[in-house]
Amino acid sequence: MRRHNPIAPVFATLLAAIAMNSAWAQAPQQMVTLENLERIALERNPTIGQAKAAVDAAAGLAKQAGLYPNPVLSAVGEEIAGGPIIRGGEFGGGFQQRIVTAGKLGLSRKVAEQERAITEQAAQAQRQRVLNAVRALYYQALSDQYRIQVRANLARLATEAVRISGELANVGQADQPDLLAAEVEAQRIQLELADARNRQERTWRQLGAVVNDPSLKSVPLAGDLETVPRLDVDQALEVIYTESPELRAAGIDVNRAETALTRAKKEVIPDLLVSGGVRYNRELLSDAGLQRPVGREGFFDIGIQIPIFNRNQGNVAAARAGVERAKLEVDRTRLSLRSRLAEVYREYRTALMRADQYKQDVLPKAQKAYELYLNNFRQMAAAYPQALIAQRNLFQLQDAYVDALTSVWQRSVEIQGLLLTGGLDFHRDSSAPDQLQ
């Protein structure tokens, strides 16, 4: 049995390095903030531009929907024949204009304006999706940053432990099993460090995609992972019901459908078709024994289409069904938001309880256990592998604690971000047509 354990102070230093405290990371001179990343994403993410283009397109369709029909200009020729009386017929020019009645153009524009408003809500939703994606990846990158710092300290100290164990083994003051255990632990920590760095690289690649900057590299982040938000499910649901662009769009769609129904009912009222013009008639007339051409004469026609067979009854029925569908869509959207919140909030509460339990109870106990094993090892009352097991357990619990904190932040981002996800998925609104019919 050895009389002393020179390796113990190394692991005492290791314990101090991995112990949880409020100062997780050294403050670098330059840090990237969440606000900077959000600003870049809103400027560069292509789905933001797509959403804006969709709004511009809807605005163009709304303008087009209210424009008056163009007149038709025409050349007129009648009674085109030869002979001494007709002398080639009548030639002239005219126009035709459709007079839209019953305010149908105004209703068409109103329908299109409401479709534009729906598209604007879709643009607001896409903006929130991009922000949510940036925020979720930011907190993932923050946790990756912490893991690397902790594991780098572990790897450095584990390497030092191997060096000291080897020197002690060479002079007969350390057992071969202790040296092998130290080498295995050092290799394991190196693999964990490599995994943490790979995770960080993945997160920054994803973040670079969301902000549309492929050259974005890992840099220090400013933030506090431990100060987590505390959310109430009822308050969160009320905010979602009030601010959700999905629910607002569904409400606007009810108005659009009702206006479309009114427009369909007005379609049965016929428009006026007015035409007229001037022509020159070369036919000869006898007047007091003299023959002279008729000369200039005017003409006009006024007509309407009589709604006998087609009273737009099919479109009216379809529009009435559209109103019912739109009203039910409001209910469906509310229920969908409630259901989605229930699942996300469950994940949030579970992660929050784990984080609190780890911080308040589990981690202090694991740290105390490690200290006791390390002290026993110093006093030669316990084998070194027991201290290694306690150390590994503390390390794994710290990892689980970080995972829980990350989940809390990401779920809270989703809840406070109105349950909108998919920062690179363009959600095209299906109610807005490509063109007016």
> What is d(CA 390, CA 384) in angstroms, rounded to the nearest whole number?
10
Would you state the structure tokens that stand for residue 128, as one six-digit string? 């929130």
- Put simply, whether the predicted model's pTM sits higher than 0.95 gets the answer no
Determine the pLDDT at residue 13: 47
Determine the pLDDT at residue 382: 60
Q: What DSSP string runs through 44-80?
A: H-HHHHHHHHHHHHHHHHHHHHTPPPPPEEEEEEES-
Determine the pLDDT at residue 173: 64
Q: How many contiguous H segments (helices) and E segments (strands) does the chain have?
A: 10, 4
Determine the pLDDT at residue 383: 61
> What is d(CA 119, CA 115) in angstroms, rounded to the nearest whole number?
6
Determine the pLDDT at residue 379: 72
Determine the pLDDT at residue 348: 97
Domains and CATH numbers, the chain: 8-67+100-269+307-416 (1.20.1600.10)
CA distances from residue 342 to 252, 335, 348, 383, 404 in whole angstroms, order as listed: 26, 11, 10, 49, 18
Residues of the chain with pLDDT under 70: 1-30, 81-82, 85-86, 88, 168, 173-174, 287-290, 377-378, 380-385, 428-437
